[in-house]
Structure 1
Amino acid sequence: MLLRYCPEKVQPKGEVSQRGTHKERNRHRGRSHLQGVDAPPGLDPLENEFISLDMVPRAACLAPLAPKPPALTASSTSSTVSTSFSLPPAPVRELPQQCLPESFGQITPLPSSFCLKAGRAVSLYRARMDNRDVILRVLRGSASPSESHQFLEFARFLGRLGPHPHLVEVLGVVSVRTPLITVTEELQQRDLLGYLWRRRQENVNLQPPRDITEKRIFIIARQVCSALEYLHNQGCLHGNVAARSVLIGGDLTAKLWGLGTSFRAHIRGTLPTGEEAGLQKWQAPELLAKKPATYSCDVWSFGILLFEMVTLGEAPFPDISVSELLQYLQRGKTVKKPASCSTNLYSLIKSCCQWRQQDRISLADLLRKLQSGEKSANDKTVLQAAQPIDIEKYLQEAGYGASYNYTVF
């Protein structure tokens, strides 16, 4: 009754006024099957249509943070954090009501790659919004109510984390009409792993060198460490720190992403152990042994990330199978020093990848060492690789299943 006779009473704030009429509602309902991935090829289903976005106002960015968890010192890193996966109940950074109508333009599908994959219920698009490049995570029309709920919960999870210069920026959420969409900024170079592989190929072909020097590694590592420390101070483990989870901008600024594991841990209350394919080679020994997660698990993974960068994207522990990895580490072994790795950088890798959790460096100390190392790091010598990545060999060495589907761009 309200929708039919008093639409202004229930119209969400910021919705285009023409949608309040019964005729317009019928027109949109009739076109719903053309939206999202079901649109015919060549048709932009959102062209010239206004989308109400949940935008985080500047005031929300200034809201006080919840109390920080204990500092990650040698005495506290071993404490389990299974109860810390629930983000603080107050203040909750919920995305506000729809307020800024926007339109998307130049919408094109974003192809899946080895590191960038859409879920069964989600499609990815590249688009323009407000004169900037964005990525649209679009929920398919065939999604179940459970998948729709999870889609919006993930958006709220991202909203609660708040802004940070080295976390991917969430620009808004379309939640009052179909298709449901989460809008994030696009970083031109995409994931760090793919970027490292492309630099490796260019070096092999003797093309003009790019900015992968030891100093660049320190800069990227410092930026990622800053974002990771922020997440820990929010009471949130990342759980998937790796080159595939770092995005790189056109100016080579790094931003941490890959928060799906953290979100699932937030929902379930625990991080996955070493059972998830493709994660084992990056996981700390205690997770491989199916013990509770700690903040230091991310520190271990960060050390593996440093190894990935200095080797231009090689798989960690390439000569050790996943089934033998835990025993290998139990014998006191650790990541071998790559030929192109300086003593200073390798010492940081080892300080992260210590068997005992209490022996691992804290993120605060790690950040200080990265800042110090950046000042004296080599900025002239471009890192080289003997050969391009053999993707099938990489999948085997990294511990992915033989049936893993992949495309490399």
Structure 2
Amino acid sequence: MSSNSTANNTCAPEDHLCIVLNHLQGVIIVPTLLLLGTLVTLLALCIMRFYPERKRTRVAAPQRYHSSSSHRHKQRNGHRRHLQGIDAPPGINPLEHEELPMSVQQVQQTAVPTLAAVPQVSTERQHGAFSQVTALPLSFSMKPDDSAGLYRGRMDNRDVILRLLKERANNSEKQHFLGFASFVSGLGPHPFLPELLGVVSVQSPLMMVVEELQHRDLLGYLWRCRQDNSSLESPCDMTEKRLFTMAGQVASALEYLHTQGCVHGNVGARSVLVGGDLTAKLWGLGSAYRRRTQAASPGEVEDKETRKWQPPEVLTRGGIIQSSDVWSFGLLLYEMVTLGDPPFAQISTTELLQHLQRGKHLKRPTGCSNSLYSIIRACCHWRPQQRLSMSELIRTLQEAERSASGRKVLTASEPLDIEKYMKEAGYGEAYNYAVL
């Protein structure tokens, strides 16, 4: 009010120029300076906000690539934490003592099992889960293994077999051991395959845990059946009906393996395990795993000691196929009906191929019925395409089981002579075939 009154006093009422000049500082200059100051402040803030960011962006560009790589690495680590099974990708070393739990699949219908595609149950075990562990006595049906040992134990109130990798095993043997465990796990469960109960893959010694079957291998069981049963603690009477029942169980397991893209390649009484209720379960998967993991020439006979059980296409260095298992299955039937005699006993392994090329067949054993012998012959055609398919074989076994006698006990013509058996089976002097 004082300034207004002063301006009014110094300027005439109609002198507008005088009045404007008197109010110039307060009305125009000060607001203008305030506006300019505001604009300068905003400009400075914008420069500080955006220009340093661009500079940091240029400097940090290589770091951003590293960060992205780190993010991918973290993603991989996250995948590893959720990895089911020990068959890790090639970049992961399962010997680094990181937790890679074993898992067992549900039965699948696809040809190739995919661990991530089905619900899985972790079977990673700790050493403290086992009790009453004792060494498993070696028998003729088990191959001595320098890298692993077999033990019997208890786990979760059931009898189990522990296959332990020895402490002195090298990295290659460790990789093979874990790879085989992963291979068995990947096949998935089946009622006529021994159950893989767990694995210790995080701490030494590494081990596989498999259910124990009371009577162990079928070959030893057949040999006990040919003895005087009165001297045995658990007498065994092998009838033709029981033979067809057990053979059907093995055939079911074999058909399942074929649906999983696995050719067994080692079918024989030595590779079948027998439970306390006389359930037969197919094992001896070592050769199948070796063929899957090792580059070998087609049809290579891996174990010379099993040549008597190999089909002509394998003996002639051809490829091993599903019908090769059918041939060997026919020889398994021969072993069962003879209570453990080797096939082609009178023919040496070096003469076997020529013997088969001349159109010779297995002779009909004493006490073998027409129906059983016809199945053996149908399995052992020279041409693979003429052999029974697995579905035909299972159906034929089921029909034969319904009509077979469950009373007449099979007998052997002579007692067991182990040295004679080894010579006739073509083993030489090596106890060189494996159940585990």
Q: Do the aligned residues in 1 keep the contact of 2:123 with 2:197 (CA within 8 Å)?
A: no
For residue 130 of structure 2, what is the aligned residue in structure 1?
Answer: 104
Change (3 A) 1:161 1:207: closer
Residue 286 (structure 2) aligns with: 260
The answer on 1:382 being equivalent to 2:382 is no
Query: Which of 106, 114, 130 in structure 2 is aligned with 1:61?
Result: 106
Q: Which amino acid in the other structure matches residue 170 of structure 1? A: L
The aligned amino acid for 1:304 is L
Q: Distance in 2 between matches of 1:385 and 1:94?
A: 48
Corresponding position of 2:332 = 305
Residue identity opposite 1:168 in structure 2:
P
Counterparts of 1:325 and 1:168, CA distance in 2? 32
User: Separation in 1 of the partners of 2:115 and 2:172?
Assistant: 26
Which amino acid in 2 is paired with 1:382? V
1:158 matched to which residue of 2? 184
From 263, 284, 290, the counterpart of 1:237 = 263
Q: Secondary structure at the match of 1:291?
A: coil
Amino acid at match of 1:386: S
User: Which runs of 4 or more aligned residues in structure 1 lie more than 4 Å from their structure 2 counterparts after TM superposition?
Assistant: 52-55, 87-102, 203-209, 269-272, 403-406
| Residue from 141, 166, 174 that aligns with 1:148 | 174
Corresponding residue for 1:349? 376
Identity of aligned residues (%): 54
Please give the secondary structure, in 2, of the residue aligned with 1:278.
helix
1:369-397 deviation per Cα after TM superposition (whole angstroms, max 9, x unaligned): 11111111010011112322111110110
Q: CA 1:195–1:140 in 2, change beyond 3 Å: closer, same or farther? A: same
**Structure 2 residue aligned with 1:83:** none
2:382 maps to amino acid: W
2:16 corresponding residue in structure 1 = none
Matches within 5 A, 1:158-237: 158-203=184-229, 210-237=236-263
Structure 2 residue corresponding to 1:318, chosen from 345, 359, 376: 345
- 1:393 matched to 2:420: yes
Aligned partners of 2:348 and 2:235: how far apart in 1?
A: 34
Deviations 1:234-282 (Å, cap 9, x if unpaired)? 1100000000000000010000000001110111255763462211000
Alpha carbons 2:200, 2:207 under 8 Å: kept: yes
* Count of matched residue positions in the alignment of Structure 1 and Structure 2: 337
When the two structures are superposed, what TM-score results if normalisation uses the length of structure 1? Answer: 0.77
Contact 2:115 2:186 (C-alpha < 8 Å) held by counterparts: no
1:124 and 2:150 equivalent?
yes
Distance 2:230 2:343 in 1: 21
- How big is each residue's C-alpha offset from its partner over 1:324-382, in whole Å with a ceiling of 9 and x where there is no partner? 10010011111110011000000000000000111100010000011111111010011
Residue number in structure 2 paired with 1:250: 276
Structure 1 unaligned regions, length at least 5 = 1-9, 14-51, 69-86
Contact 1:53 1:174 in 2 (8 A): no
Question: Does the aligned pair in 2 maintain the 1:265–1:272 contact within 8 Å?
Answer: no
Measure how far apart 1:213 and its partner are: 0.2
- Structure with larger RCO (C-alpha < 8 A, sep 6+): 1
Distance 2:322 2:167 in 1: 38
* Rounded Cα–Cα distance in structure 2 between residues aligned with 1:214 and 1:98: 39
Contact 1:203–1:385 (CA under 8 A) maintained in structure 2: no
C-alpha contact (below 8 Å) 1:53/1:98 kept by paired residues:
no
**CA distance, structure 2, for counterparts of residue 206 and residue 134 of structure 1:** 24
d(CA) in 2 for partners of 1:206, 1:112 = 20
Q: Distance in 1 between matches of 2:389 and 2:243?
A: 19
Q: Distance in 1 between matches of 2:185 and 2:198?
A: 9
Asked whether the equivalents of residues 53 and 173 of structure 1 are also in contact (C-alpha less than 8 Å), the reply is: no
Q: What are the ranges of 5 or more consecutive residues in structure 2 without an aligned counterpart?
A: 1-77, 82-98
Q: Distance in 1 between matches of 2:263 and 2:392?
A: 18
Q: Deviations over 1:48-74 (max 9, x none)?
A: xxxx994646xx416x442x4xxxxxx
| RMSD over aligned Cα atoms | 2.7
Seen in structure 2, the aligned counterparts of structure 1 residues 312 and 98 have a Cα distance that, compared at 3 Å, is: closer
Larger mean Cα displacement after TM superposition, 265-274 or 228-237: 265-274
Decide which of 380, 394, 397 is 1:370's aligned counterpart.
Answer: 397
Letter in 2 for 1:164: H
Q: Any conservation in 1 of the 2:381–2:387 contact (CA below 8 Å)?
A: yes
Aligned equivalents of 1:244, 1:358: Cα separation in 2? 26
Q: Indicate conservation of the 8 Å contact 2:239/2:409, yes or no.
A: yes
CA distance in 2 between partners of 1:207 and 1:133 (Å): 19
Residue 126 of structure 1 aligns to which amino acid in structure 2?
R
Separation in 2, partners of 1:97, 1:56: 5
Alpha-carbon shift at residue 402 of structure 1 (Å)? 3.0
Rounded to whole Å, the distance in 2 between the matches of 1:203 and 1:348 is 29
Q: Alpha carbons of 1:207 and 1:255: their partners in 2 closer, same or farther (altered >3 Å)?
A: closer
Q: Is the 8 A contact 2:125 2:199 kept in 1?
A: no
1:153-174 Cα shifts (integer Å, max 9, x gaps): 0000001000000001000110
Of stretches 281-290 and 98-107 in structure 1, the one that deviates more from structure 2 is 98-107
Deviations 1:264-303 (A, max 9, x none): 0111255763462211000001111111111110000000
- How big is the shift at 1:100? 6.2
1:3-50 Cα shifts (integer Å, max 9, x gaps): xxxxxxx9x99xxxxxxxxxxxxxxxxxxxxxxxxxxxxxxxxxxxxx
